[in-house]
Structure 1
């Protein structure tokens, strides 16, 4: 496949021999679950539920419907659906039609989706409907661009477009496929750490291992009920172990649409949820809410927290007020996953972000010169292994910067490793803001801010926030009169910038401070704003 960097043959052979890769396509997860637990609830949302057998049949019917409309057979399709049973149906249907799903997030807007279309060459997009935003209208705007998009599929009122419910209404069966499992099964979306978000090709082999091994480490069983509280297209709730990992053991997956404590606690109580994943800001809020909410999540035995570093004090509070079953998770959609283990000592759970999932995860921690640092010292994390990508999709220039000549991924995260192999996140190398678990590229946001006619210079920085982790501050040098935050965000909205990338505050400055070599000094900016 053009633009895909495969695993080198020697490493691929080693991973097969070691048993990491089984040669099963990703959709086999559902096939196997339907054969073993046909009548067990597979997916549940606010309006419907499907057993494993029903989900299997729905995925087949939808795949046949896609193929009948010429969608499949190596084509890329953007998926931007809310958390629902139909998300699972669409994912497996695309896999069975031989298409390549591009896992977009509900907050992505025209700018990001247009970029994904350009890079992936997608011919179709599947969108949902929801309050506050017209996804169908956005998809129509994308049709006007010079790209290959031809099919708009809508789960809801489809208007002139393809109705998802009608597409799924038949009883057809797609032809059995036997894909090369060392080729991409789907494309995840990066946080856009150095510009526009990149597409992350996850192969059948590596993603099946990602989900299966994560479920095994988390000790998920057929009796568990997993709540998808974060957007399902994220790697974390999708396969760490998430939706896919839960399905490897026949557990039930509940799709939540409102992660607020009031709504989530009610969902947990109604379905007997035993496991879920949150970002630190939500985990802190849930723990605090235990003091005032009538319903408490008493069935919750495993709470994974990741997406940003969780402070030790917050970890202790969560374990005391919410659930003792806290698991810290540090990872990336590009591959490496680190978990604290069930039964780890308190000190480990509260002060580290876990250790790698696989024995063959190769970790290097290096200084600015690329020299390995001893355990206990902080440095940049480099990694390669059986489920870490070897290159972004169709991003040759970025790959030159992000991967070493011998195939290690430069994560941009700064960590220190302890003698027991566990890691503590100490910072980051890349210029990003971690807002409510989303990674926001400062460079990309700055480029959008500079298109406003009133903006002469701009710097985007993250400032500490007790609820978001970091809030986005737009530091602006105005050409004349300052504009308001709402005016600036209206401009970004008109440019189609993702919701989670918009500033939370503006800090006007007469000039941006610079370093001795003339670069914007963001450390000085933060020190000035947070004395």
Structure 2
């Protein structure tokens, strides 16, 4: 597990321990502690199932024992790709207690991404649903295991087909797994990056840093045991997992409700039924919910605090959500790599509307640098560089990416263009003004333009292609493929069918296809994407 993992430098690690941020506890202690403190309180709920903290603690132990019985060894990696449900939480804690390291895949990932994750992580197992949203994950698992023989353990929730049944693990009655000491400085789980260049990278989050992430975020959001958190975004995302999400909710004994349908009609009914008070949404979904408050018969009146992030939000959009969805809206600007900024309960409306928040931790370090890496004067724009007690020090097994992504003194180059206000009521708060990396923020997902272009260039009818972002009222940005064809052109449906066959993520498919006779270039021969967008929007 340690091969290819970049640990925290010893001096900074000691600083974080001395400050009390790192407590030396394993990540699964969040459930252990909650079960001891609030055994009969409801921990998690989905459409068909509910567990108290004591019940979740027990079933996680059973699954851990079953995983060990299956032959999964301490430190081995397992791809976890389950939809939003109680079984996601059971699998996560079962893997942690078995000593395995979950790789937190998203439901929209397909063979291209999962194969990459399996290869980089050296995964030995895969946990999936049988079918979800019309997709058969068992067929994908057959292809993956053929290409990656190391994936010896495939476990399926539902009809297992040729694989192992998840229900057998949940009902396992063998001897429990002894609790073994865990090195809290080693990875507890692997998150996936937004894929800013090429395929997504793996982000190793240690026990120390992720426990702190969950605890500190719940405290900053003023969560208590009276709250109920709704997981409306894919649960494997850092945002609904630990910001504060499922894990942060556990630290205060709050209930977590899972939904696989975040549409206003479904979500509002769920919020009303369970009196949900806190959730996290991407901008496009928050705007849709705010609009739906004008026509839905059941309104989300119990919501007291809604975090909104995933892409830059205009002040007008922020005011619309504040006025129509909840006065407790919080802007959040964060990343699976670690650093979190968000507005707090009680912040002035001007701050909530015009900024993306301030750092979660007093030990978060931020620099704003110009294109040469030099710090800019206070209040001016530049690229945000960060490090701190819960920000990674290097991607997992990705030496080339790490050479590009980190400064010599360990600051992570976010690729986001920001300014940090120097004075007034906004002092210390961050405003995101743009980006440096070539990505598209579609509906809260970060899509690598380069990776999509690599897929497009394999199509036999495509001579050249550029993936660019176009503004969209609902998605924030939509994906446009500007394509020069040679020979017969193809339709958008045909192109997305081709991408489906290649195993590209569902969230990385073009929304718009624009044929072009040529792609404009810069003086050094690179595609000039600003001109591409200008030509498209003028037509």
TM-score by length of structure 2 reads: 0.98
Tell me what 1:259 maps to: 262
Q: Say yes or no: does 1:469 pair with 2:472.
A: no
For the 8 Å contact 1:5–1:392, the answer to whether it is kept is yes
After superposition, the CA RMSD in angstroms is 0.7
Question: 1:268-315: per-residue Cα shift (whole Å, max 9, x none)?
Answer: 011110000000000000000000000110000000001111211111
The structure 1 segments of at least 4 consecutive aligned residues displaced by more than 3 Å after TM superposition are none
Deviation at 1:527, TM superposition (A): 1.4
Q: Structure 2: how far apart are the matches of 1:320 and 1:382? A: 33
Pairing 1:83-102 to 2, within 5 Å after superposition: 83-102=84-103
Q: Say yes or no: does 1:414 pair with 2:387.
A: no
Q: Figure out how many residues of one structure are paired with residues of the other and give that number.
A: 531
Q: Say yes or no: does 1:523 pair with 2:530.
A: yes
Deviation at 1:146, TM superposition (A): 4.0
* Higher deviation after alignment, 44-53 or 138-147: 138-147
Give the direction of change, closer, same or farther, for the CA distance of 1:449–1:20 in structure 2 (3 Å limit).
Answer: same
Q: Structure 2: how far apart are the matches of 1:113 and 1:527? A: 35
What is the DSSP-based 3-state SS (H/G/I as helix, E as strand, rest coil) of the residue aligned with 2:135? coil
Q: Structure 1: how far apart are the matches of 2:73 and 2:467? A: 40
Q: Say yes or no: does 1:363 pair with 2:366.
A: yes
Q: Say yes or no: does 1:331 pair with 2:334.
A: yes
Question: 1:370-404: per-residue Cα shift (whole Å, max 9, x none)?
Answer: 11112221100000000000000000111000011
Question: 1:314-364: per-residue Cα shift (whole Å, max 9, x none)?
Answer: 111111111100011000000100010111111100000001011111100
Q: Say yes or no: does 1:454 pair with 2:461.
A: yes
Q: Structure 2: how far apart are the matches of 1:459 and 1:375? A: 36
Q: Structure 1: how far apart are the matches of 2:490 and 2:527? A: 22
Q: Say yes or no: does 1:236 pair with 2:239.
A: yes
For the 8 Å contact 1:118–1:147, the answer to whether it is kept is no
Q: Structure 2: how far apart are the matches of 1:116 and 1:265? A: 35
Q: Say yes or no: does 1:36 pair with 2:37.
A: yes
Tell me what 1:354 maps to: 357
For the 8 Å contact 1:121–1:147, the answer to whether it is kept is no
Deviation at 1:195, TM superposition (A): 0.6
Q: Structure 2: how far apart are the matches of 1:177 and 1:244? A: 21
Q: Say yes or no: does 1:130 pair with 2:132.
A: yes
For the 8 Å contact 1:72–1:94, the answer to whether it is kept is no
For the 8 Å contact 2:115–2:148, the answer to whether it is kept is no
Tell me what 2:179 maps to: 176
Choose from 143, 155, 158 the match for 2:157.
155
* Higher deviation after alignment, 305-314 or 260-269: 305-314
TM-score by length of structure 1 reads: 0.99
Pairing 1:502-521 to 2, within 5 Å after superposition: 502-521=509-528
Structure 1: gaps of 5 or more residues: none
Structure 2: gaps of 5 or more residues: none
Deviation at 1:147, TM superposition (A): 4.2
Q: Structure 2: how far apart are the matches of 1:137 and 1:250? A: 39
Question: 1:119-149: per-residue Cα shift (whole Å, max 9, x none)?
Answer: 0010000001324100011011101114411
